[in-house]
Chains A and B, each alone.
Chain A
Amino acid sequence: MVVLCKLSAYLKIAIMSLRLNRLRSMLSILGIVFGVMAVMVIIAVGEGMKNEALQQIEQLGIRNIYIRAIEVTAEKKVVASKNHGFGLTWDDLVRIRSGCATVENVAALKELNAAIIGGPREITPQVVSVTPSYGEALDLRLEGGRFISQRDCLLQNEVCVIGREISRSLGRSGQLGGIIRIEDHFFKIVGILGMSRQGHEGKTENIAARNYDEMILLPLGTMVWLAGAGDRQVGGEGQSLTELILQIDAPEHVLDSSRVIKRIMTSLHPDVQAYQIIIPLELLNQTRKAKRMLTLFLVTIASISLLVGGVGIMNIMLATVSERKKEIGIRRAVGAKKKHILVQFLTESAILTFLGGVIGISLGGMAMIILSFFIPWQVDITVEAIIFPLLISSVAGLFFGIYPAYKATAVDPIQALRS
């Protein structure tokens, strides 16, 4: 109890002393204020960026390996077609499945350029045809109905599964059992996709997760009518696909399997590499590594800014000590020990830095609200974005307060009283 009273007395004295030189106290903490503000904003923005990337990668599934067709020049197309047909084919999928034992599940997707007749105006749905395994591989959730089945593909049933946004914008005709006209064909809605885990289209280069809210999924095979005579039916050897998804049995096999798959793909497409292989797990590892680098970078910035801020505090505290020699002498005469003087001056520098930290965090919070209007990803104000700068500023304050406080204890009371 007595200790608490003493502590509050020290706080009171410190606040009184600091208030005597209000302007000087405020100026002395500017370094800390801006340091803390910068650290907080960087942490929050960096954290938001990382979460954004991780979310996209997770949506792709860490057990999956993607092979995506990419655009190549016309010349290369000619070379490729001479040898083995252009682009990704059903055959690639079959060969990989038989050549790589760790592939547990395969799925394929083909993007179609098909117009929706009488579709929603405000959004442009992306029409794709997929294998029945696609939903499982991507862990797509259904709000209602069912996913595309094997039977749909085999019988070329004119059915579709649509995204939430499309369903909503179509109103009553967008419900289960409704009919959507694509080109000259009528597709019955058999399923509506649930909330997609990602609100918007991927921005990170290379990842480009799809926005399922605005997609219409048809059974792979039915695009025969839509894409013209050039495409053959599902299972046909020359079938040109947009994306192959290979689900590996366990995350720890993904990297090894990816090497095998790369080899198979190279042997199947020796001349032109008209595809890219995306390994979400690898991206995840890269992102984590980048995050570690970012953290290191932050710690460096934080140390520098707090060093500067701390030196500012030390400077002012040294001036305070030499100005208040008489007070120190009086206190020593009435019984203060050196440790009491030390605590008093440390309390003052701790209050200064803590105040700097609090002001810095408030300004940082405001800066983030303003920033969130200008940057596309969400700014995550985590607990560590608040605690970390506050903690290091207080530690810096105490550290840089030690020397002036020590100087205060070294004041000779007899000399001080005589001055």
Chain B
Amino acid sequence: MSHTLVSMAGVSKTYSLGGNVVQALCEITLCLEEGQFVAVMGPSGSGKSTLLNIMGCLDRPTSGTYLFDGENVSRSSDENLSDIRSGKIGFIFQQFNLIQHFNVLENVSMPFLYMDVDQPTAMTKSAQAIEKVGLGHRLSHKSFELSGGEIQRVAIARAMAPEPKLILADEPTGNLDSQTGERIMDLISQLHVAGTAVVLVTHNSQVASRAQTIYYMKDGCFV
């Protein structure tokens, strides 16, 4: 019996930009089971990233209810949201977002700094994750010494190292050539196979086709 990981009911998000109120998300209702692989597609400005930010507890909805892993986080404090992100949610970004002057191991082990995990465990788990993405021989390389594909693999290792329940990938292949993108998608698919729920935001329908379910968004709503 699978367990509901993400449950959104009537989630809306509005911003006020220079006096204008912008509706970024409009009454989104979504349910995601543990281990499910979902892709979200849609044109730029359709609200994909906002959805991902709220789902990833980086942002709070203006209205509606969001239950993550059974806990209502719609009105949670910043501290509480950080607690949920730490260890339960992993992010993969289009811009990779590694810390340049850190080496591979330091980047991957960063999430453990904010978790209640001792140093040896953190190092072991980080090294294992790096091994899984095939960069075991590059532990002490700085990120600027790596190729784009390798950098994204480090980012995947960072997201998966704490063994989160949910991985959110925002255009993970957007800055990579198609061949490298394929390999990255292989890795993400493996995460899903291993039991992690994955939400993938993309423009690319080929990339999206890897998911079990595809949602289309337009003007802040699912269509």
Contact = CB atoms under 8 A, between A and B. Distances in A.
A335 B82 contact: yes
Contact of A337 (B79, B95, B99, B101): B79
B91 interface: yes
Nearest to A20: B101
Given A332-B82, A333-B58, A9 B99 contact: no
A349 to B, nearest CB: 19
Interface string B85-97: 1110011010101
Interface residues of A, number: 26
B86 A335 contact: yes
* Central interface residue in B78, B95, B114, by most chain A CB within 10 Å: B114
B119 interface: yes
Nearest to A333: B91
Interface in A294-353: 326-327, 329-340
B128 interface: no
B114 A337 contact: yes
A190 to B, nearest CB: 78
Contacts of A370: none
Interface string B59-91: 100000000000000000011001101110011
A334 B116 contact: no
Given A20-B101, A330-B99, A414-B53, A338 B79 contact: yes
Contact of A335 (B85, B95, B119): B85
Given A2-B116, A417-B97, A338 B111 contact: no
B192 interface: no
Given A20-B101, A327-B99, A335 B79 contact: no
B84 to A, nearest CB: 8
B135 to A, nearest CB: 18
B165 to A, nearest CB: 13
Nearest to B56: A333
A343 to B, nearest CB: 11
A331 B110 contact: yes
Nearest to B102: A16
Interface residues of B, number: 30
Interface in B199-219: none
Given A5-B119, A327-B99, A334 B114 contact: yes
Nearest to A5: B119
Contact of A340 (B102, B114, B117, B119): B114
A17 B59 CA distance: 28
A1 B95 CA distance: 36
B48 interface: no
B82 A336 contact: yes
Given A5-B119, A417-B93, A417-B97, A333 B59 contact: no
B158 interface: yes
Contacts of A151: none
Chain A interface helix/strand/loop/mixed: helix
A192 B192 CA distance: 99
A335 B58 contact: no
A2 B112 CA distance: 11
Contacts of A337: 78-79, 82-83, 114
Interface in B101-159: 101-102, 110-111, 113-119, 158
A194 interface: no
A121 interface: no
A9 B113 contact: yes
Contacts of B86: 334-336
A61 interface: no
A326 B101 CA distance: 13
A101 B36 CA distance: 105
B113 to A, nearest CB: 5
A82 interface: no
A203 B19 CA distance: 78
B53 A335 contact: no
A332 B102 CA distance: 17
Contact of B110 (A20, A334, A417): A334
Contacts of A5: 118-119
A324 to B, nearest CB: 9
Interface in A154-189: none
A20 B142 CA distance: 13
Contacts of B113: 6, 9-10, 336, 340
A413 interface: yes
Contacts of A10: 113
A334 B157 CA distance: 12
A124 to B, nearest CB: 72
B58 A414 contact: yes
A5 B158 CA distance: 20
Nearest to B116: A2
A330 B78 contact: no
A335 B79 CA distance: 9
Interface of A: 1-2, 5-6, 9-10, 16-17, 20, 326-327, 329-340, 413-414, 417
12 contacts: A5-B119, A9-B119, A327-B99, A333-B58, A334-B86, A335-B83, A337-B82, A338-B82, A340-B113, A340-B114, A413-B58, A414-B59
Given A9-B113, A334-B90, A414-B58, 12 more contacts: A1-B118, A9-B119, A326-B97, A330-B98, A330-B99, A331-B114, A334-B86, A334-B91, A335-B83, A336-B82, A414-B53, A414-B59
